[in-house]
Amino acid sequence: MPSARTTTTTEATRRLVHGVWGMHRRMATLLGTGLPEACGLDLDDFVLLETIALTDLAPGEVAQALRLPAHAVSRGLGRLEGAGLVARRIDPEDARRRVVALTDAGRAALARAHAHLERALGPWLTELPPDRTLLALDALTRLATGRDAAPDGTTASAAPAATDRAR
């Protein structure tokens, strides 16, 4: 007889969908309008800016890393570039390749965003004991990316994929 903790695949997929949806809605509520007010970025632009900060990628590779269509990333890069937060530059290791890099203003906006996210989401993360929070974050990262590494390259159990170019 299965234990009370045993979950069918159907129940697990339902819980996953509803759990991710609920987390998304809760995060949107917790961040509210505060993120744009704190740093001039919405959540999409924050994730794009942070991806650029953590990697040395060409625009097409940014789209692949975020699993977004190239046109969506191109529009986002245009907004960030127009705001003076990123600049396209020649890759120092391959002059045929252009990469996107943060400007000083981009690094400052990202620092303000991180401070706001910590204030807004920090209390949410303390709802679980620290060890369970780390397990939950590791599980979310694994489910979202198919690997154990966090976006900044830190990991508890595996190295980032070879295609990651963490600075």
Query: 128-157: per-residue pLDDT in tens?
Result: 899 999 999 999 888 887 776 555 555 443
How far apart, in whole angstroms, are the C-alpha atoms of residue 125 and residue 22?
15
Q: Which of 88, 18, 84 is nearest to 52 (CA)?
A: 88
Helix (H) or strand (E) holding 98: strand 94-102
Q: What is the pLDDT of residues 45-75, one digit of tens each?
A: 999 999 999 887 899 999 998 989 999 999 9
Which tokens go with 24? 């998304």
Question: What is the distance in angstroms between the CA of the first residue and the CA of the last residue of the chain?
Answer: 51
Question: What's the whole-model pTM score?
Answer: 0.74
Which CATH number fits the domain 32-120, given the four candidates 3.30.450.20, 1.10.10.10, 3.40.1640.10, 3.40.50.720?
1.10.10.10
Q: What does the domain layout of the chain look like in residue ranges?
A: 32-120
Mean pLDDT of the chain: 84
